């Protein structure tokens, strides 16, 4: 008889990802202990058994080891980037299989990632690391000399495209730097890198002993040309030619290897142009937000079930994505303000091919678009016989939705 599996799940209080992992664990009969990113003193108050400060990795790892004394787990799994380094470090102390902490860190620190990808001779853009302690005029002169235009500024350790801004000339670069400095604060690292033209895809994969299985390749049919890079539509299967898809998979596998990742989920973003695929980034985690709902494997397994099975050493029936095309639209925020109402939800939900529409922004609360914001208005999910149908359904549902956003009276002028 196999023993009942038990895992430690590293989550944050507001992560979209936690419920999907908890559901999957329940379906698989796996016991879950959650460690939540918060000071220990607050966890009782919020009703969590274990609160640990993710950014204080050594302290948090020691707390985890203490908490698990006498009640071991099969694996420590982070639901997103924020806990990835801690998961690797705690697993190391507990003697559990894991990615090397350096690899976990490289997969979420964009500067380290660029250095390691360049060392692995992967097609990636020219880049230079700066700090918000640097005078913007000096940054602009350095970037102009070494990177040129168009370029992209980006914080080293944010995600969801926050703070990522394209600049086509000096005036735009200085404006982008002003915005970035205000967003990330003093003495923080950031990159300036050359802009990679091309279409963009997202690859969802799983590493076993360094071997990559592609679980899904998503096209992003809306152009992502800046100045900000708001995600909208993801549709799978990809409509790119099979040879291009193979080149993308090979590139992602090489990138994971260059970072030292060898196990668990990866989520890679790539751009494809006349020179082939280029790595925008590879993260050691699964797809963000609610997007994993587009994926079902084998008879009816979720992405999280696959990840948990792999992490606990349980058999995986199939890694084959179900045949139907699927897609999601992350509903973009058209402008800043207070969300007052959402109309057309019923109509959107009843569009042909639409599976569900979930509005995650809260009415009467402020909403902030990119590059400063960190969330979407919600998600639209669709399924269909082919990717073009799915894309059409998503666009029709989006067109049926109306968001009333009241412009906020600014409290101060920048």
Structure tokens at 250: 């090979």
Of residues 278 and 403, the one with the C-beta less far from ligand ADP: 278
Backbone angles phi, psi at 91, to 5 degrees: -60, -40
C-alpha to C-alpha distance for 358 and 346, rounded to whole angstroms: 11
Q: Are the beta carbons of 7 and 73 closer than 8 angstroms? A: yes
Residue 152 found at the interface with ligand ADP (CB under 6 A): yes
Q: Are the beta carbons of 150 and 195 closer than 8 angstroms? A: yes
C-alpha to C-alpha distance for 339 and 321, rounded to whole angstroms: 36
Q: To 5 degrees, how large is the angle CA 291–CA 312–CA 245?
A: 45
Residue selected from 51, 83, 125, 327 as contacting ligand ADP according to rule CB under 6 A: 125
Residue selected from 16, 54, 195, 297 as contacting ligand ADP according to rule CB under 6 A: 195
Of residues 125 and 378, the one with the C-beta less far from ligand ADP: 125
Shortest Cβ 145–ligand ADP spacing (Å): 18
Residue selected from 269, 304, 355, 389 as contacting ligand ADP according to rule CB under 6 A: 269
Please report the sign of the dihedral spanned by the C-alpha atoms of residue 202, residue 205, residue 207, residue 211: negative
Residue 309 found at the interface with ligand ADP (CB under 6 A): no
Structure tokens at 258: 């260059």
Structure tokens at 194: 């050359």
Which residue's Cβ lies closest to ligand ADP? 229
Structure tokens at 153: 């500024």
Residue 266 found at the interface with ligand ADP (CB under 6 A): no
Shortest Cβ 81–ligand ADP spacing (Å): 8
Residue selected from 32, 207, 280, 303 as contacting ligand ADP according to rule CB under 6 A: 280
Of residues 123 and 353, the one with the C-beta less far from ligand ADP: 123
Structure tokens at 92: 């190391």
Shortest Cβ 402–ligand ADP spacing (Å): 27
Q: How, if at all, do strands 75-78 and 31-37 pair?
A: unpaired
Residue 154 found at the interface with ligand ADP (CB under 6 A): yes
Q: Write the DSSP assignment of 178-210 as a string of letters.
A: HHHHHHH-TT-EEEEEE---SEEEEEEEEEETT
Shortest Cβ 152–ligand ADP spacing (Å): 4
Structure tokens at 171: 């005036």
Residue 200 found at the interface with ligand ADP (CB under 6 A): yes
Of residues 195 and 403, the one with the C-beta less far from ligand ADP: 195
Of residues 161 and 393, the one with the C-beta less far from ligand ADP: 161
Q: Are the beta carbons of 136 and 181 closer than 8 angstroms? A: yes
Residue 233 found at the interface with ligand ADP (CB under 6 A): no
Stretch that binds ligand ADP, among 72-80, 136-144, 193-201, 403-411 (CB under 6 A): 193-201
C-alpha to C-alpha distance for 353 and 124, rounded to whole angstroms: 37
CB atoms closer than 10 angstroms to residue 149? 15
Residue 297 found at the interface with ligand ADP (CB under 6 A): no
C-alpha to C-alpha distance for 295 and 236, rounded to whole angstroms: 9
Q: How far lies 40's CA from each of 16, 56, 77, 87, 89, in Å?
A: 22, 12, 19, 17, 18
Residue selected from 52, 104, 147, 196 as contacting ligand ADP according to rule CB under 6 A: 196
Residue selected from 30, 87, 106, 224 as contacting ligand ADP according to rule CB under 6 A: 224
Of residues 51 and 226, the one with the C-beta less far from ligand ADP: 226
Residue 160 found at the interface with ligand ADP (CB under 6 A): yes
Stretch that binds ligand ADP, among 84-92, 158-166, 344-352, 353-361 (CB under 6 A): 158-166
Q: Which parts of this chain interact with ligand ADP (CB under 6 A)?
A: 110, 125, 152, 154, 158-162, 164, 193, 195-196, 200, 224, 229, 269, 280-281
């Amino acid at each position: 008889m196999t023993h009942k599996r038990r895992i430690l799940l590293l989550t944050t209080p507001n992560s979209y990802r936690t419920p999907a992992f908890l559901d999957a664990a329940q379906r698989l009969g796996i016991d879950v202990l959650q460690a939540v990113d918060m000071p220990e003193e607050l966890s009782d108050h919020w009703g969590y058994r274990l609160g640990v400060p993710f950014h204080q990795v050594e302290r948090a790892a020691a707390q985890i080891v203490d908490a698990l004394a006498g009640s071991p787990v099969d694996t420590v799994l982070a639901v997103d980037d924020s806990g990835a380094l801690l998961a690797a470090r705690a697993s190391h102390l507990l003697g559990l299989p894991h990615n090397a902490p350096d690899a976990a860190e490289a997969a979420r620190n964009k500067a380290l990632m660029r250095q390691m990808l360049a060392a692995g001779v992967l097609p990636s853009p020219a880049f230079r690391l700066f700090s918000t302690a640097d005078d913007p005029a000096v940054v602009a002169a350095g970037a102009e000399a070494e990177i040129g235009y168009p370029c992209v500024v980006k914080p080293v350790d944010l995600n969801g495209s926050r703070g990522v801004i394209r600049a086509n000339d000096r005036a735009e670069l200085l404006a982008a730097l002003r915005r970035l400095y205000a967003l990330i604060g003093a003495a923080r690292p950031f990159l300036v890198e050359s802009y990679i033209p091309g279409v963009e895809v997202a690859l969802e994969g799983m590493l076993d002993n360094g071997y990559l299985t592609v679980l899904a390749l998503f096209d992003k049919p809306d152009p992502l040309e800046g100045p900000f890079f708001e995600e909208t539509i993801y549709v799978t299967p990809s409509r790119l030619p099979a040879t291009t898809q193979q080149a993308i998979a090979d590139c992602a596998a090489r990138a994971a290897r260059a970072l030292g990742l060898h196990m668990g989920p990866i989520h890679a973003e790539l751009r494809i142009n006349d020179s082939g695929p280029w790595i925008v980034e590879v993260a050691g985690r699964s797809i963000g937000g609610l997007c994993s709902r587009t994926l079902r494997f084998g008879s009816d397994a979720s992405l999280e079930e696959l990840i948990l099975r792999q992490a606990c050493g349980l058999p995986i029936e199939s890694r084959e994505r179900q045949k139907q095309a699927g897609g999601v639209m992350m509903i973009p925020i058209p402008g800043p303000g207070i969300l007052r109402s959402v109309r057309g939800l019923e109509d959107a939900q009843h569009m042909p091919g639409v599976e569900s529409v979930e509005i995650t922004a809260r009415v009467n609360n402020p909403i902030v678009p990119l590059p400063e914001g960190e969330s979407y208005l919600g998600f639209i999910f669709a399924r269909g016989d082919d990717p073009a149908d799915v894309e059409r359904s998503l666009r029709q549902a989006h067109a049926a939705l109306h968001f009333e956003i009241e412009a906020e009276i600014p409290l101060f002028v920048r």
